[in-house]
Amino acid sequence: MPQLTSTRTLPWYAIPWVVDGWRQVKRYPLFSLGILIFVLVIPAIFAPWVAPHDPYMGTLSNRLTPPVWQDGGSMEHILGTDKLGRDMLSRIIYGARVSLTVSLIAIFVGGIMGTVLGLISGYFGGRTDAVIMRLVDISLSIPTILLALVLVAAVGPSFGTVITVLIVLLWARYARLTRGETLGIKERDFIARARVAGASHTRIMFKYIFPNVFNSLIVLATLQVGYVILLESALSFLGAGLPRAEPAWGVMVADGRELIVTAWWVSMFPGLAIMLTVLSLNLLGDWLRDHLDPKLRNL
């Protein structure tokens, strides 16, 4: 009977799960790099327990404290403080939570609206398709910044204002993608057999067509998260997004634009957080697209 070798006697690099993990890293480098970078925003989930300070409270005596590695820095504020003495590391951690929450809500609601309208448009065609597609064209032609400024002037900057602007912008993209996929799927034989079997329109759309569109929607949603984070940050930077008191990355970059020479860290670190998060999500989206598309999977 063969002797079983305990993993305790093996060096760490020879342990089976380590070997398998390294093979996956070499096979999917984009996915691995994306996961590695995205781990940086995981503390946002546990922000109340991870953040060393209250992101809303500051001490004016500690205002514009530099990072710990510069003269005048301290371990109490590793990434320094802003002009109100608030800890930068804590605000960046909470800012990840704000940015991801806004993105996920906007993509979820906009994705559902766009998917349903895209299914209806592609399946029924005719006047229904024409009306929905004209609404899509109108939505895509609306200047995002102008819409945000109008809403801010009407109701003021708020969480709901940003999400409304993002939903108006996003649903049309999902509707156009779903409609294009539906036009091809509805002509297949299994859809014809479902009609002959007496399946209702609703059943055909959501049981037979939607599962075949789902992979494309997941890829689009993954790629859109990074885009939405950038857009939310840009709106907040221009004052048409979240209120100034919120620890959002765009707000933080805007707060430091006048201090870029004397206190570069106020804008630099939240900007770096935006870049790393968007990069990781784009890498994950590229990997997911290649993995879910059978034509690309075998290349």
Beta carbons within 8 Å of 211's beta carbon, 6+ residues apart: none
Per-residue pLDDT reduced to its tens digit, 209-266: 988 888 888 888 887 877 888 888 777 777 777 777 778 888 888 888 888 888 888 8
Q: Is the pLDDT of residue 5 over 50?
A: no
Report the candidate in 252, 275, 274, 273 with the shortest Cα–Cα distance to residue 82: 252
Q: Is the pLDDT of residue 189 over 70?
A: yes
- Give the residue-averaged pLDDT of 271-277: 83
pLDDT interval class at 7 (50, 70, 90): very low
Beta carbons within 8 Å of 6's beta carbon, 6+ residues apart: none
pLDDT value of position 277: 80
pLDDT value of position 17: 46
297 backbone dihedrals φ, ψ, rounded to 5°? -65, -30
pLDDT value of position 176: 92
Task: Give, for 203, the enclosing helix (H) or strand (E).
Answer: helix 201-203
CB 228, CB 166: distance < 8 Å: yes
Per-residue pLDDT reduced to its tens digit, 82-127: 888 888 888 888 888 888 888 889 889 999 999 999 999 998 988 9
Given CATH 1.10.3720.10, say whether it is the number of domain 77-297.
Answer: yes
CB 112, CB 172: distance < 8 Å: no
CB 86, CB 56: distance < 8 Å: yes
Strand partners, 21: none
Q: Is the pLDDT of residue 3 over 70?
A: no
154 or 268: which leads in pLDDT: 268
25 or 200: which leads in pLDDT: 200
pLDDT interval class at 130 (50, 70, 90): very high
- Give the residue-averaged pLDDT of 144-164: 78
135 or 41: which leads in pLDDT: 135
74 backbone dihedrals φ, ψ, rounded to 5°? -145, 160
Q: What is the pLDDT of the chain when averaged over all its residues? A: 79
pLDDT value of position 114: 92
pLDDT interval class at 154 (50, 70, 90): confident
pLDDT value of position 145: 75
Q: What angle do CA 148, 152, 158 make, to 5 degrees?
A: 100
pLDDT value of position 10: 53
Q: Is the pLDDT of residue 30 over 60?
A: no
The number of angstroms, rounded, from the C-alpha of 229 to the middle of its chain's C-alpha atoms is: 6
pLDDT value of position 115: 93
Q: Which two tokens stand for residue 17?
A: 């799960």
Question: Quick one: what percent of the chain has pLDDT higher than 70?
Answer: 82
From the number of C-beta atoms within 10 Å of its C-beta (0-12, 13-18, 19+), residue 223 rates as middle
Backbone φ/ψ region at 51: left (φ over 0), alpha (ψ -120 to 50), beta = beta
**Weakest-pLDDT range from 170-174, 183-187, 203-207, 291-295:** 291-295
282 or 121: which leads in pLDDT: 121
